[in-house]
Every structure is written in structure tokens, then in C-alpha cells.
Structure 1
């Protein structure tokens, strides 16, 4: 897993309202666009770009399907993973089930990790 690249995706998308909207509305297209034109940028400019990083098929699939459990299990940074998906799901879950509803679901889906060591987030 390219933990760096996945974490860069989570961080970048979570901090840009336009990216978050595009990712929410059409994840497959946005992940492909991000991987090809947004992710390679270094220092947020158009002059410097990296050709080294790429998502694996499993990473790409997890990002496209919003599979935060798979991302966690692959070693995505816990906080970046959680905050991005709060940005996507908090309001709909709140409307349906009240405060912290998505956070409780996130925790419930990761219950099988309760007695195990968390995956390393080292890059």
C-alpha cells in the first residue's frame, strides 16, 4: 500500500470543499482525476510533480466505494480516514440518527480491531 498517497488523498480531499463535493458525487471519476492530475502535484503548484506514486487497485477500489474499513485495515491514517468520511456522512447520519451517528457506525464497523494492535500508519 502506498500509505503516503492514500493519506495524501484523504488529507487533500478533506480540506477542499470542492474536492469533497466532487468525491461525494462521483467517486470513481474523482479518484481517477485525483490520481492523474491532483495527487502528483508537489507543494500544491503546477510546476513540480511526482511520477513515483500510484494507488494500488485495492486502494483505488476502497476510495471509490468509500470503504473506510478497508482503508483502515490497509494502514490509512485513522484520523484522516475518519475526518474525510465525517465530511461525507455526518449530515445524513445526523438527520437520521442524531449526533455522532456516523462516528458510532465507524467505531462499530471497526469493533473487530478492539483487541488487536492497530495497523501501522508509518509511510
Structure 2
């Protein structure tokens, strides 16, 4: 498991409106594409620099592919990254603040101490 890779996915997708829409409409395809094409690129570096070893495990891939943000939080994804991305994807489907309320409701079963979000 790589909390770094989960957070990197959430961070990079959230900053690209086209990727946000792609992830909303085709989550499994977006996760597969991103893992193959983007996961090993080094953030804030030119295209020639990359690593070769970063991959999601099956649990991470499944949670990302189904928009399962409670599971992502349990896996250690940073809550600010999940909240901002999923607000961008789903708040249009709810009344004002409705998605934020739904997010809180779906995470209500998690009690302190919260999962470790350090990377």
C-alpha cells in the first residue's frame, strides 16, 4: 500500500478539470490509465524523470475505481484531498452543502484516532 500514490492520484486529478470529468464518468478507466501513464512521473519535474516501481494494490485500485472515499480515508488518503476532489465531481448532484453532508455521514463511523495520513 502506498499512501503517497493515493494522495498523488487525488492531488493530480483534482488539479485538472478534464481529468476530474474523466474520473467522474469513467473511474476504472481513469485509474488504469493514470497508473500506467502518470503514477511514476515525478511531481514538479520534467517529463524525462520518472520511477518504475509505484503501483496501486488491489484494495487501493478498487476504492479509487468505485469512488469509495470512506475506504480511501481508511487507507490513509488525506481527507482534504478526497473532499476537494469529490466535491468537484459530485456537488452538482446535491443541494448546496448536500455533498459535504453526505461525505460527513459516510465517514461518521470512523472514530478517533483517525487513520494515519502521513506519507
* Global fold match (TM > 0.5): yes
Q: Shift of residue 44 of structure 1?
A: 4.8
1:21-60 mapped onto 2 (5 Å cutoff): 21-42=21-42, 43-60=44-61
Distance between the aligned counterparts of 2:58 and 2:67, measured in 1? 14
Q: Which runs of 5+ in 2 are unaligned?
A: none
Greater helix percent: which structure? 1
Distance between the aligned counterparts of 1:103 and 1:2, measured in 2? 26
Distance between the aligned counterparts of 1:41 and 1:112, measured in 2? 35
Hey, what does 2:77 align to over in structure 1? 76
Cα deviation digits, residues 71-120 of structure 1 (max 9, x gap): 00111001001111101101111xxxx2110000000111112x421111
Cα RMSD after superposing both structures: 1.1
Hey, what does 1:116 align to over in structure 2? 112
Hey, what does 2:64 align to over in structure 1? 63
Distance between the aligned counterparts of 1:65 and 1:25, measured in 2? 11
User: Number of matched residues?
Assistant: 118
Q: Structure 2 length as normaliser, TM-score?
A: 0.94
Q: Shift of residue 38 of structure 1?
A: 1.3
SS in 1 for 2:5: helix
Distance between the aligned counterparts of 2:48 and 2:77, measured in 1? 28
